[in-house]
Chains A and B, each alone.
Chain A
Amino acid sequence: MKPTAIQRELDKILPLVKKPGRYTGGELNQVVKGWEKTTTHLALLFPEVYDLGMSNLGWMVLYDMINQRPDLLAERAFLPWTDMIKAMRDAQIPLYSLETKHALMDFDIIGVSLPYETIYTNFLTALDLANIPLDSRRRKEDQPLIIAGGHATFNPEPVAPFIDAFVIGEGEEVILEIADAYQKWKRSGALKNTLLQSLNGINGVYVPSFYRPIYNHDGTFSHLKKRNPSAKDRIQKRITAKLPPPPTNLIVPYIDIVHNRAPVEIMRGCTRGCRFCHAGFVNRPVRERPVQQIVESMEKIVSKTGFSEVGLLSLSSSDYTNIVELVNAAQSAFDEKQLAISLPSLRIESISDSLIDALAEKRRSGFTLAPEAGTARLRNLINKPISDQQILQTAREIFKREWHTIKLYFMIGFPSEVMSDIKAIAELSKAVRDVGEKVIGRRAKVHASVSTFVPKPHTPFQWVPCLEERQIQEKIEYLQEELRGWGLKLNWNDPQNTIHEAWLSRGDRRMAEVILRVHEKGGMFDAWQEHFDFQTWLDAFQETGLDPAFYAHRARAQDESFPWDHIDIGVQKSFLQEEYKWSKEGKTRPDCREQCYACGVLSAYNQRRRMHPGEHWMCPEVRSSKHPSRKPQKGQKIQDTSHENPTD
């Protein structure tokens, strides 16, 4: 369908659907380039509804970068809400790009964001709505190349059959390399397999069809068998050695969206090493942007977009080296313009009084702290060693500065957890409230937000079983009993959502069949409570003969091979093993900004670091000869030899 025809049909159906502003495009700062004047056309597909997708920074960075190249064009696509999907199907409108209303099918490359696992069925729905075959083997030579990236793809296997090539790690550099390879292939007139071959040659790109998984008799994963001689042994994630200035020409949505603010990433990665935290391991090493650059970018953003709120984003903002200086500089630059600055993800032990002071000027409804666990014992086990005293002291300083509400984030389901650990969540919440009462009286409020721990690949807890539904239910009910009283509020995640995430997080390639079946049964928007249907998933498992408990609730043997072992995040598996062992012994690992503990990242990216020296890189310099750094010769490719080779 041609863009003009799509637009004509849209005009007919838009008045009939909810929030039609999601589907029109045309916002300030969207980039519209001549379709004919550009050689290669990329669609950036975020398979969630516009309101959510427009708040995601990942695609924005790529959109900006791609569109700066004169020969390339990038346009956006999101998954329409269910009413619009139906209306589009009835009117036979395929999924289209917001900028020029081209059918996704007409693009050369579709880059899919897969930031979390519960988006998988949405992705299949989007492909289906675009009339693109889901199975990569069934796609024709002239159909778009489907590439995917995002946090979930650090375990690419559950969606491997649907993707031509994965980008593992950060996309900033590699996306242009992929576009170059595509253009070269297109000019050559060769078959698609030649393109895959050339993509396979790009660092950080994983072509799943070049491998076939082999399983043991007990159903566990054994290894990947190469189906193509050029297939790489391991795929090392890509990183951007030095973060470029953040995008400032951000698209300004007309309708209200989830985070209606300008995102500015101040730092990437985290050195704390919380053992449950996927982002903390896959995003190493830590790289910071300079204060000056951030403030200048904020100024540009305000004059180009007019946003009234800027979110300074990172995994742990209070660990940013010059955080107080940054917040003060930002606030003095924007005071008159009524710009709100939000600073999510603050760590209790690194929130200084001066930082709370700096934030107090732009006081918001609540201050969020994440102790994660109720007892010091468990906090040591997860490597977030904060004492109750520290938490209460920080809470006191916050209440003193006129915040009335403190939100506390907790998780249940950590290894070795007993009921007294759960009780401690309630006790700690009450203690924080009581601190508040002393400072501001009965206005003090504590909201405890409790989710259930899901073991994630590439973390020290990747061997650990996830709680069963009944166990989660029991613990939540116990908390509901315990956490009662004035000023207290509790919310929690549905246990079935937790288990769903647990299946997918550590899934293997066989899981693709389950996802496909759920899709065929109409499953989508699994991250939305009103759409998620647990039973559909159980049915799909049954039909495929896979056991859901095998994926979610099984303790893995120390020497088990994982379906994601070929994805190299820089951190060595032996380091994760040691971390797991330490957790059982109650040993904690200090912040590695101070001292290097040889997780592997530094040696893996030593060369990159040398090519981009500077203070932005927060790993400490290591000069000790004992450090297992494998110093490569100039020009020699770094090969990680310490791991067993999964394809042997």
Chain B
Amino acid sequence: MKTQRIRIHFSKTKSMQYTGHLDLRRAWVRTFRRANLALSYSQGYTPRPQLNMAAPLPLGFLSTGEIGDFWLEDHYPMNTIQKSLQDALPPGLRINHLKEVSDIHGDKLPNLVRSALYHVSFFSVVSDLDQHLQDILHQEQIKRERKGKSYDLRPLIYSLEVIPPGGEAKQLVEMHLSHLPGATGRPDEVIRELGVDPNHTQICRKKIILET
């Protein structure tokens, strides 16, 4: 039985950079099991643990802004949950904060996602980067093809901005992109539009913006 719903804001760090979406779910299920917190399971022949990620993170992306909902079988005090999970996390996951969601059966996370904020680190200098970004923003339409389907990238871009880089990055761009059903902007597509191979960049999702 779903007794308690908690929402965890977390980071996916380098150790788990190449852990896919399904494997990430399993990593969380194992974390709860180690923490001795009983996740609620679905009914039926093959019961599944009840958890929900706001938006799948593509393989290779890092993130400091992931969100997941987890339903527990029993009710625990929030500080117990926080402490137990903290001790049980694998190297690639970090909890930023967590809270209880009072509406246990309310809207699922994926339906609440509106947009996402990304930071893209470029490892080699793109000349006139700012100008390139402005050019993209000034276009009315950007026809691109993905998995054999043609689509318009432009309306999926909310903003593109050069910001001061850190670490090994030569340049850093903040991208605010749409994340709606059937209308999700991918940062790697924007990077390709800049004429850069996304493999020469590091993409980090900073934030998932939910409907308020």
Contacts and interface: CB of A to CB of B under 8 A. Distances in A.
Residue from B18, B19, B23, B29 with most neighbouring chain A CB atoms (10 Å): B18
B199 A16 contact: yes
A252 interface: yes
Contact of B30 (A15, A19, A252, A256): A252
Contacts of B34: 302-306
A21 B41 contact: no
B20 to A, nearest CB: 7
B31 interface: yes
Question: Interface range on chain B: under 10, 10 to 19, 20 to 34, or 35 or more?
Answer: 20 to 34
B88 A306 contact: yes
A21 B19 CA distance: 6
Given A15-B60, A306-B33, A337-B38, A27 B18 contact: no
Contact of A305 (B16, B22, B30): B30
Interface string A254-269: 1110001000000000
Interface string B180-212: 000000000000000000110000000000000
B92 A26 contact: yes
A256 to B, nearest CB: 6
A308 interface: yes
B106 interface: no
Nearest to B47: A338
A20 interface: yes
B56 to A, nearest CB: 15
Interface string A301-316: 0111111100000000
A24 B17 contact: yes
A19 B29 CA distance: 21
B18 A14 contact: yes
Given A26-B92, A254-B92, A306 B32 contact: yes
Contacts of B30: 252, 305-308
B165 interface: no
A255 B199 contact: no
A28 B35 CA distance: 14
Nearest to A12: B199
B111 interface: no
B150 to A, nearest CB: 25
B108 to A, nearest CB: 22
A332 B65 CA distance: 40
Contacts of A308: 29-30, 33
Contacts of A303: 34, 36
Nearest to A28: B90
Interface string B82-95: 00000010111000
A336 interface: yes
Contacts of B91: 26-28
Contact of B18 (A20, A28, A306): A20
B159 interface: no
Contacts of A337: 33, 38
Interface in B7-66: 14-20, 22-23, 26-27, 29-34, 36, 38, 41, 47, 49, 59-60
Interface in A493-517: none
Interface string A15-35: 110011100101110000000
Contacts of A20: 17-18, 59-60
Given A24-B18, A255-B23, A303-B36, A338 B90 contact: no
Contacts of A256: 22-23, 26
Contacts of A24: 15, 17-18
6 contacts: A20-B18, A28-B90, A254-B90, A255-B19, A256-B22, A306-B88
Interface of B: 14-20, 22-23, 26-27, 29-34, 36, 38, 41, 47, 49, 59-60, 88, 90-92, 198-199
Please name the 3 residue pairs, one residue from A and one from B, whose CB atoms are nearest each other, closest first. A306-B30, A26-B15, A306-B33
